[in-house]
């Protein structure tokens, strides 16, 4: 039951496993036991550092007030005492606020952060830009709160952006687990490997699939049912198996200001959609198109039967 003196208090902590360190930062009343579900998995791959915040668990309870800045300093001093030069951070709830403050004062010490069920808090919170909100509102009279809480693309894209950072660090399992949870919540399936630019928006979103090596530029809009997938992937390893990962480009690229309407399917690692192009609904596309292109299918021949009463 180790304790570490970090100046004015003794902080209770535990270490599990070996490897690159992960610092787990819990919430207001969530001490070390709160991580019992995660530690058995992570300790197989990482050196897991868990601790009780000041005033919680078995750590000392000095007189208040307690601030995010003070608790972030506690975490930093714990890293110093354990001689940890760089770490990943996994945080939940109030722990996310502590982690954000830790990133502010010691960004060079953090490899990546996973922030769960949290926000920046207070007047220092980071809100979406006016441009991003205006794109989401689209003159529908929706409030900022309704957009952030009710639009499924906000959750799917936010989780994917966090997972993508972990993917680039070659963190095993966790990035895909994150995007699959978002997929189950939203119906939007975005692989953590996909590289996505700024001001990306998915309207409605159900059935959208974005593959691992997809590249999406800035200010791109997709509608429900769109697939950015692989097409006849031929690159295989010496055992005849399909090579996956970043080194085998299997999915298309969308340049800036592209709009793709419902149920369009764009396939292939060599397929590139030029900037300011429009891809119509139900299009099946397996080759590149130039910038400012408009791709649609011909109107189908409709058969309309009169369902009214016979005369």
Q: What is the pTM of this model?
A: 0.56
Average confidence score pLDDT of the chain: 86
Distance CA 263, CA 137 (A): 23
Spatial CB neighbours of 171, under 8 Å, sequence gap ≥ 6: 88, 112
Strand order from edge to edge, sheet including 21-25: 3-5, 10-16, 47-51, 21-25, 87-92, 110-116
Distance CA 174, CA 42 (A): 9
- Kindly report, residue by residue over 129-173, the tens digit of the pLDDT: 666 656 655 555 666 677 777 788 988 999 999 999 999 998 988
**For position 222, what pLDDT does the model report?**
95
pLDDT in tens, 48-90: 999 999 988 889 888 888 889 999 999 999 999 999 999 999 9
List the single range of 42-46, 121-125, 201-205, 247-251 with lowest mean pLDDT. Answer: 121-125
Report pLDDT for 237. Answer: 65
* pLDDT confidence of residue 299: 76
CA distance readout (Å), 232 to 235, 250, 251, 265, 301: 9, 9, 10, 14, 30
In the chain, which residues fall in CATH 2.160.10.10? Answer: 128-297
Helix, strand, or coil (residue 214): coil
Q: How far is CA 223 from CA 141, 146, 176, 264, in A?
A: 20, 19, 23, 9
Closest to 217 in 3D by CA, of 194, 189, 192, 196: 196
- Is 1-126 in CATH node 3.40.50.1820? yes
Go through the chain and tell me how many residues it has. 311
Domain ranges in the chain with CATH number 3.40.50.1820: 1-126
**Architecture in CATH of 128-297:** 3 Solenoid (2.160)
pLDDT score for 63: 86
> Is-cis flag, bond preceding 65, omega within 30?
yes
The beta-strand segments (E) located in the chain are 3-5, 10-16, 21-25, 47-51, 87-92, 110-116, 189-190, 195-196, 201-202, 209-210, 215-216, 221-222, 227-229, 253-254, 259-260, 265-267, 272-273, 278-279, 284-285, 294-295
Q: How confident is the model at residue 214 (pLDDT cuts 50, 70, 90)?
A: very high
Rounded CA gap, 38 and 269, in Å?
36
């Amino acid at each position: 039951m180790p304790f570490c003196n970090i100046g004015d208090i003794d902080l209770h902590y535990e270490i599990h496993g070996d490897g690159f360190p992960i610092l787990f930062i819990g919430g207001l009343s969530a001490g070390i036991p709160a991580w019992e579900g995660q530690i058995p998995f992570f300790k197989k791959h990482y050196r897991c550092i868990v601790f009780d915040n000041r005033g919680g668990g078995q750590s000392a309870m000095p007189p208040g007030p307690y601030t995010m800045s003070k608790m972030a300093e506690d975490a930093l001093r714990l890293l110093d005492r354990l001689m940890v030069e760089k770490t990943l951070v996994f945080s939940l709830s109030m722990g996310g606020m502590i982690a954000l403050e830790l990133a502010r004062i010691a960004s060079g010490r953090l490899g990546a952060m996973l922030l769960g069920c949290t926000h920046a808090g207070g007047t220092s919170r980071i809100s979406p830009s006016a441009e991003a909100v205006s794109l989401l509102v689209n003159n529908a009279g929706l409030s900022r709160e309704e957009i952030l809480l009710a639009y499924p693309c906000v959750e799917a894209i936010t989780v994917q952006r966090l997972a993508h950072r972990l993917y680039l660090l070659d963190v095993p399992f966790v990035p895909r687990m994150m995007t699959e949870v978002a997929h189950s919540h939203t119906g939007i399936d975005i692989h953590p490997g996909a590289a996505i630019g700024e001001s990306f928006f998915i309207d409605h979103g159900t059935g959208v699939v974005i593959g691992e090596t997809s590249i999406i530029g800035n200010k791109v809009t997709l509608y429900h049912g769109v697939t950015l997938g692989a097409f006849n992937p031929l690159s295989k390893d010496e055992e005849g198996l399909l090579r996956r990962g970043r080194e085998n480009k299997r999915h298309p690229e969308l340049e800036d200001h592209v709009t793709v309407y419902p149920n369009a399917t764009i396939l292939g690692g060599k397929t590139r959609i030029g900037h300011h192009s429009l891809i119509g609904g139900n299009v099946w596309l397996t080759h590149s198109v130039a910038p400012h292109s408009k791709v649609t299918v011909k109107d189908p021949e409709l058969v309309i039967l009169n369902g009214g009463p016979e005369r």
